[in-house]
Structure 1
Amino acid sequence: MTFRILRTLAALALWACAALAHAQSYPAKPVRIIVPYPAGGTTDIIARIAAAQLAERLRQPFVVENRAGASGAIGAVAVAQSAPDGYTLVMGTASSHGINSALQKNLPYDAVKDFAPVTVVASTPNIVVVHPSVPAKTLGELLALAKAQPGKINFGSTSPGGSPHMSAELLKMMAGVDMAHVPYKGAAPMLTDLIGGQIQAGFDNLPSTIGFVRGGKVRALAVTTPQRWPGAPDIPTVAESGVPGYEVSGWFGLLAPAGTPKSVLDTLQSAVAQAVQQPEVARQLRDLGAEPVANKPEAFARDIAADVEKWRKVVQATGVRLE
């Protein structure tokens, strides 16, 4: 019995030493951050800001790799199936780790069980925009047009089942309007068609669209968050535009495969927190239309679970399905 106890204590000591050594040496080689969406979109932009800051603080390259497809599922499952050592991360979103669980019946990963959340890097509203030729200066006027012409107003989104798409579906349900969805594979092609007048309206993450709003290429009608966005205080919220109770917030957060040592998660979270506390980094994110967050892994895990439950209810209520 004494021998068994000593052997157990020795094993625990070895495990503790190994964990400590891992924490002290991590990262000892380059780290991949997989972005499960195309280059140039909001997720990609925020991932590259985070990668640069992590590389500076942790003294190893953090390499961004785009693996787009299936509303973020292709990139997400690649990370879920990777070794839980902290060298493969994903920049997840409310779509890849919230909406997908509600929309995709055969999703090849579990957004809660297959990942170890690190931190939300930043959050952002989605934004409702229209081509300047559309005779609607407010969201209320756009909804009135949609009610007068059911199914005639078309809107683009950055991916089927993504946060912008589901923002629109929730708005349609709550406002009682019918608008036609035109799905795109990313923000760039959707905005190209919107600016060109091929579609009338668009739903997108604010960071990848706000530059076109400021340049007069598209007209902003509303943001989806409960409060107006500090970087664009002249744009009203959906809730104050005649749809009380409406709320959708986008988030962009780093996750590792389930089983990644807590010491690694804490190292990454601490580095992100240090970065976003720097005025220049915070300004860079806010200029994009994103708000720095850097919450703890435990808080991020609770947020993901809540998001999954929220979107399951929305999908059940709207009956929306992927095209």
Structure 2
Amino acid sequence: MRLMTGFRSVACVLTMLCAGAGIAHAQEFAGRLVNVIVNFPVGGPTDLEGRVFAEHLPRFLKGTSAVVVRNVAGAGGMIAVNQLGDISESNKLNIGFFTWDPMQQILKHPNLRVQFNDLKFIAGMEQTNLLYIRRDTAPGMAKPADIAKVNTFRAAVLSNGSDWSALRQSLALDLLGAKYRIIPGYKGTREAEVAMLQGDIQLVSNSLPGYNSFARLNLVDKGIAIPLFQYERGEGNLRRSPNLPDVPTFLELYRDIHGANANPSGPKWEALQFLNRISRTPRVIFMPPNAPDAAVAELRSAVERMAKDPQFLAQYEKVAQAPAHFVQGADGERVIVELKRLPPEMVTFFNQYIESNSSR
């Protein structure tokens, strides 16, 4: 009997020690001021969504003294990425809430000093992207399939046209057989949409939140533009987004133009599929390369619980005008791994394609 009592006492002590170790493991952020670094300016979509994330984070990261949003804009978001890549001891618990562009790494942009796959991936946020075009694009856009018949039109792209969004847009239009001119240099999609409203350009691409915040109300609902297509949401997912049930996917439109059993092929199609995969989550949450494994695990757990929280989900949808869809674990990390394994011939293709687009 005494022996059994002794065993019970030892078991109790071990249980308490394990519980204590679990608590210590789960409180890497306790008593700490946590910086959430946003890589675009105040007031933009990345900032607004990042602030909703930061506002709710303390409810899931127990014991934090405060969560502060720091906007570090510039160089297409790369200044903030570089800052998160700083492996100093004082910054190891920083959190990055980014709109990222993997093409910056693929094309070896000189301003990017850190590799995305060196950062600690926490989660991504999936968003649907779509294109829309003015109805009066000559001789007229009555339905999406008319894109293959209209005259040469002007397609807006941001910056110099080498980001993933611009490349994906051009590749898709090429495969559809559209005739277009690239109009680069827009600082943001809102500026491009205003140009569309004024008739200076005919086509714009955007995320669903961006589309809902301006284009749907001011262009589509007023009969000025029509949605052209939505990109497929990741490899093998050919279904329409439930948030855009009346907008065809790229492949649906391709088959409407080229035949019911037609399938795209060739280097442009392979490049478009690759961009669809890596751009599935335009918003990503990272930690620095030297973030402790326990802190990474704790933040991943916090985000996993946040993704199911009705209060967060309601506020996010109100601000972003689209539901929050987190991509976590191996599903999200697959994109990061793919960046490390990109075949050299794909990199060569992108460089040559960008060069050819510069003369359009």
Instruction: Tell me the TM-score normalized by structure 1.
Output: 0.78
* Structure 2 partner of 1:13: none
1:264 Cα shift?
0.8
Contact (CA 8 Å) 1:127, 1:206: kept in 2 or not? Answer: yes
Tell me which of 207, 231, 251 is aligned to 1:205: 207
Partners of 2:116 and 2:109 in 1: how far apart? 13
Partners of 2:24 and 2:302 in 1: how far apart? 18
Q: Which moved more, 1:164-173 or 1:199-208?
A: 164-173
Partners of 1:224 and 1:48 in 2: how far apart? 27
* Structure 1 partner of 2:95: 89
Partners of 1:21 and 1:83 in 2: how far apart? 23
Kindly provide the amino acid, as one letter, of the partner of residue 87 in structure 1: L
* Structure 1 partner of 2:67: 62
Structure 1 216/312 Cα, relative in aligned 2: closer, same or farther at 3 Å? farther
Tell me which of 287, 295, 301 is aligned to 2:328: 295
Contact (CA 8 Å) 1:124, 1:206: kept in 2 or not? Answer: yes
Contact (CA 8 Å) 1:35, 1:75: kept in 2 or not? Answer: yes
1:315 Cα shift?
5.1
Contact (CA 8 Å) 1:30, 1:87: kept in 2 or not? Answer: no
* Structure 1 partner of 2:107: 103
* Structure 1 partner of 2:193: 191
Structure 1 282/158 Cα, relative in aligned 2: closer, same or farther at 3 Å? farther
Contact (CA 8 Å) 2:38, 2:71: kept in 1 or not? Answer: yes
Contact (CA 8 Å) 1:158, 1:203: kept in 2 or not? Answer: no
SS at match of 1:242: helix
Contact (CA 8 Å) 1:102, 1:311: kept in 2 or not? Answer: no
* Structure 2 partner of 1:37: 40
Contact (CA 8 Å) 2:154, 2:202: kept in 1 or not? Answer: yes
1:132 Cα shift?
4.7
1:137 Cα shift?
3.9
Kindly provide the amino acid, as one letter, of the partner of residue 128 in structure 1: L
Structure 1 239/304 Cα, relative in aligned 2: closer, same or farther at 3 Å? same
Structure 1 71/92 Cα, relative in aligned 2: closer, same or farther at 3 Å? same
Contact (CA 8 Å) 1:170, 1:314: kept in 2 or not? Answer: no
Structure 1 276/300 Cα, relative in aligned 2: closer, same or farther at 3 Å? same
Structure 1 143/265 Cα, relative in aligned 2: closer, same or farther at 3 Å? farther
Post-superposition CA distance 1:201-251 (Å, at most 9, x none):
111222112233431424322111232111121111111111655652431
Kindly provide the amino acid, as one letter, of the partner of residue 250 in structure 1: R
Contact (CA 8 Å) 1:140, 1:241: kept in 2 or not? Answer: yes
Tell me which of 231, 234, 251 is aligned to 1:239: 251
Q: Which moved more, 1:238-247 or 1:255-264?
A: 238-247
* Structure 1 partner of 2:299: 268
1:73 Cα shift?
1.6
Tell me which of 320, 334, 338 is aligned to 1:306: 338
Contact (CA 8 Å) 1:93, 1:250: kept in 2 or not? Answer: no
Kindly provide the amino acid, as one letter, of the partner of residue 63 in structure 1: V
Q: Determine whether 1:223 maps to 2:227.
A: no
Structure 1 294/265 Cα, relative in aligned 2: closer, same or farther at 3 Å? farther
* Structure 1 partner of 2:5: none
* Structure 1 partner of 2:10: none
Partners of 1:241 and 1:165 in 2: how far apart? 19
1:129 Cα shift?
1.5
* Structure 1 partner of 2:85: 80
1:82 Cα shift?
4.8
Partners of 1:169 and 1:51 in 2: how far apart? 35
1:303 Cα shift?
2.0
Contact (CA 8 Å) 2:126, 2:324: kept in 1 or not? Answer: yes
Contact (CA 8 Å) 1:137, 1:221: kept in 2 or not? Answer: no
Tell me which of 115, 120, 136 is aligned to 1:116: 120
Which ranges of structure 1 fall in alignment gaps of 5 or more residues? 1-16
Matches within 5 A, 1:105-184: 105-106=109-110, 107-113=112-118, 115-120=119-124, 122-134=125-137, 135-145=140-150, 148-149=151-152, 153-159=153-159, 160-177=161-178, 178-184=180-186
Higher alpha-carbon Rg = 2
Contact (CA 8 Å) 1:126, 1:204: kept in 2 or not? Answer: yes
Which ranges of structure 2 fall in alignment gaps of 5 or more residues? 1-19, 233-237, 256-262, 265-271
Q: Determine whether 1:316 maps to 2:318.
A: no
Q: Superposition RMSD on alpha carbons, in Å?
A: 3.2
* Structure 1 partner of 2:280: 250
Structure 1 269/201 Cα, relative in aligned 2: closer, same or farther at 3 Å? same
Partners of 1:290 and 1:105 in 2: how far apart? 32
SS at match of 1:217: helix
Structure 1 68/104 Cα, relative in aligned 2: closer, same or farther at 3 Å? farther
1:257 Cα shift?
1.1
1:258 Cα shift?
0.5
Kindly provide the amino acid, as one letter, of the partner of residue 33 in structure 2: P
Contact (CA 8 Å) 2:29, 2:93: kept in 1 or not? Answer: no
Contact (CA 8 Å) 1:32, 1:89: kept in 2 or not? Answer: yes
SS at match of 1:203: strand
Structure 1 141/82 Cα, relative in aligned 2: closer, same or farther at 3 Å? farther
SS at match of 2:228: strand
Instruction: Tell me the TM-score normalized by structure 2.
Output: 0.71
Partners of 1:276 and 1:82 in 2: how far apart? 28
Contact (CA 8 Å) 1:30, 1:62: kept in 2 or not? Answer: yes
Number of aligned residue pairs: 297
1:124 Cα shift?
0.8
Partners of 2:75 and 2:345 in 1: how far apart? 21
